[in-house]
Amino acid sequence: MERAEQVLMDSDSLALFTARADELIDSKDHQAIKTICDVAEETDFVFQSPYDESRYYYSVGNLYEELYKYSRTDWFSDDLSMAVLYFRKALHAIGESPWDREESHLKSCIETNLANNLSSQGRALCAIPFYDSAIKQGNPIAFVSKANNEIFIAGSLYDQDHAIYHLRCAYNNFLEPEKRKHLMHPSQRKSVAEGGRLKDFSKWYQEKSGDFYFNDEFKLGGIDRKEREYLDWVDAEKLFLNDLNDILSGDLVKQDVLSLPSFVSYINQTLSLSEGLAYHGNFDELKNDFCYARYLLFVGLSIPEDVDHFYNSTYRHIEDFSYTINNLKTSHYKNSFRIFYSLLDKIAYFIYRFFDLGPIDNDGRVSFINIFVNTSGKTSKPNKALENSKNPFIHALFFILKDIRELKSYTNISKWVDPDVASYDEIRNAMEHRSLKIVDDFGKESVSRDYRLHENEVEKVKEEIRLLRCDIEGIFPKIREAKQSGEVNKRKEAETEKSSLESQVDVLQKKLHEKEKLSSHSVLVSITEFERRLKGLAKLCRNSLMYLSLAIEFEESQKESDGLVIPREVPLK
């Protein structure tokens, strides 16, 4: 959709807009909400401050959230995606460190609502960092929302020894808003009032907590300094394949304990031992690939930008003035990115086979996109096999796909995961099929300045072409007059002049074509931007593996037992 010209929304107009948005949400006037959302999509507003911009996006996000709550016809509703998109825009606009209490409060509200909508997408693990950030600002609703999110996670786990830690986290988060009732709107106090779900949960937990055993003092033994440093980093980045790493730190979480849940299969004498364990072996392979990519990221972070390595010292390197860093650090980064990105398609293959979504002959065409999105028609829509799925963790994987890849006919939110950096898809495409250059931060700015400088030359060439075409237009009357008068020489002179001008235009157009071709040949990403994007991809892959396991557990929990089940021990090396 083409954007209209920019329209200024000053602070007074914004105040009227936000008041109107709140009024429509309270009255649940969904037709009017739809109209105002359409206007927001079609109008490119500019604001007097980042704070105003953030408030506007936050209000639009709330409007889309209300539309989703009202319709709820499809789990893949674009209204839900739009709510997430606008909350992300609001978060980006307000920045990392708001200046005053009012801005901090707004940021905590944005984070809470973003987390709630991510949780609605089934992305309960992705929501936790946003709840935690809002909780640091003392937002009582963030405590309530995180408590509900933790109860959901606890009920979704196959490992009950882990579930009790999430229940404890939920209970601790429930206690805080009870102390902060005076900060809550009267309508919000119902969430912690007598007879409410959380109040009932707290009573149950108090009665049962004496039966729970928490191993908080667990210590890993036999770990040398180098391994300890690595494990501490993984813990801090919340990258262990361990749901406890989302809510705890310390030795207890420093293990990649994620595994396949128990699932029922028929006794089949035609299967060899390895065939019978194919899914377990495949899941182990996925974990191994993830752990290797995670380690490459860690090693890359520990290598200074200016350190060379002998692996590529056997040839002379070109100085192309893009300030590219071609050393072991960036090579580790690129390989880490490749592995993380490819894991998503491998997860798709696992889902395709495990849930028997299609014929084996289609294996070669299985990917993260065509597992979740049917692109056979004119528009994209969820794959038929999953369109009616009630599995929240299948939903989560679908929405992670929308974060990472460009999807036709779906709201593109990939840039708004981190809007200042090239999208995941753009980086991967350049890395695999074109040219990706990781450059130092100063170099990126220097190259950008050089590009801007030469843009003036581009405009000069375009203007020269425009003037030459005007001159060419002016020659046509001369040619017509010469034809009518029969003056052959004048006609030849005019046509020669026209041909000369056209040749000049052709030369200038070739320059513009070369400019376009070479300027788009490589994607340049600063090393800081790439590290940020790579860490984000690592987190999404980690959560995707967790959601895969939880999706299988959900499906198995929905099955009815139709006979005798004999447990089988999965062998370990």
Q: Are residues 481 and 429 in the same domain?
A: no
Q: How far is CA 348 from CA 39, 237, 363, 401, 491, in A?
A: 37, 25, 10, 11, 69
- Residues 407 and 456 grouped into a single domain: no
pLDDT of the residue at 20: 95
What was the pLDDT predicted at 449?
86
pLDDT of amino acid 364: 80
Same domain for 304 and 347, yes or no, is yes
Lowest mean per-residue pLDDT among 24-33, 246-255, 305-314, 378-387:
378-387
Provide the pLDDT confidence category of residue 187 given band limits of 50, 70 and 90.
low
Express each pLDDT in 468-520 by its tens digit.
999 999 999 988 888 888 888 988 999 999 999 999 999 999 999 999 999 88
Write out pLDDT tens, residues 237-250: 999 999 999 999 99
The reported pLDDT for the residue numbered 563 is 62
Which residue has tokens 């929302």? 145
Question: Helix-strand-coil percent breakdown of the chain, rounded to 5?
Answer: 70, 5, 30
The pLDDT, as a whole number, for residue 73 is 67
> Which amino acid is residue 382, in one-letter code?
P
Does the pLDDT at position 16 exceed 70?
A: yes
Q: Is 223 contained in some domain?
A: no
pLDDT surpasses 90 at 23: yes
Residue 235 resides in a domain: no
Looking at the structure, tell me whether residues 75 and 161 fall in a common domain.
yes
Query: Looking at the structure, do residues 37 and 117 belong to the same domain, yes or no?
Result: yes
In degrees to the nearest 10, what's the CA dihedral of 499, 500, 502, 506? Answer: 130
Strands 381-382 and 373-374: antiparallel
pLDDT for 5 = 62
Model confidence at 2, pLDDT cuts 50, 70, 90, reads: very low
The pLDDT tens digits for 390-407 are 999 999 999 999 888 877
Q: Is residue 384 part of a domain?
A: yes
> Do 87 and 177 belong together in one domain?
yes
Confidence band, pLDDT 50/70/90 cuts, at residue 233: very high
Whole-angstrom Cα distance, residue 453 to residue 450?
A: 5
504 and 357 in a common domain? no
**71 and 176 share one domain:** yes
pLDDT of residue 379: 57
Q: Pairing state of beta strands 373-374 and 436-439?
A: unpaired
Are residue 297 and residue 360 in the same domain, yes or no?
A: yes
Total count of domains within the chain: 3
Q: Model confidence over 298-308: pLDDT tens digits?
A: 999 999 999 99
Task: Place 1 in a pLDDT band, splitting at 50, 70 and 90.
Answer: very low
The reply to whether 224 falls in a domain is no
> Is 487 part of any domain?
yes
Range of the domain at 269: 258-435+527-558
pLDDT at 4 over 60: no
For residue 36, being part of any structural domain is answered with yes
Percentage of the chain beyond pLDDT 70 is 95
pLDDT value at position 484?
87
Q: Is the pLDDT of residue 378 over 60?
A: no
Of 123-137, 443-457, 468-482, the range with the lowest mean pLDDT is 443-457
**Residue finishing a domain among 182, 211, 240:** 211
Same domain, 207 and 308: no
Looking at the fold, whether 33 and 109 belong to one and the same domain comes out as yes
User: pLDDT: is 474 or 451 the higher one?
Assistant: 474
Looking at the fold, whether 268 and 391 belong to one and the same domain comes out as yes
User: Does the residue 271 lie in any domain?
Assistant: yes
Average pLDDT over residues 204-223: 92
CATH of the domain at 17: 1.25.40.10
Helix (H) or strand (E) run with residue 9 in it: strand 6-9
Q: Is residue 72 part of a domain?
A: yes
**Confidence (pTM):** 0.90
**Could you give the CA distance from residue 493 to residue 529 in angstroms, rounded to a whole number?**
58
The interaxial angle of helices 527-558 and 328-354, nearest 10 deg, is 20
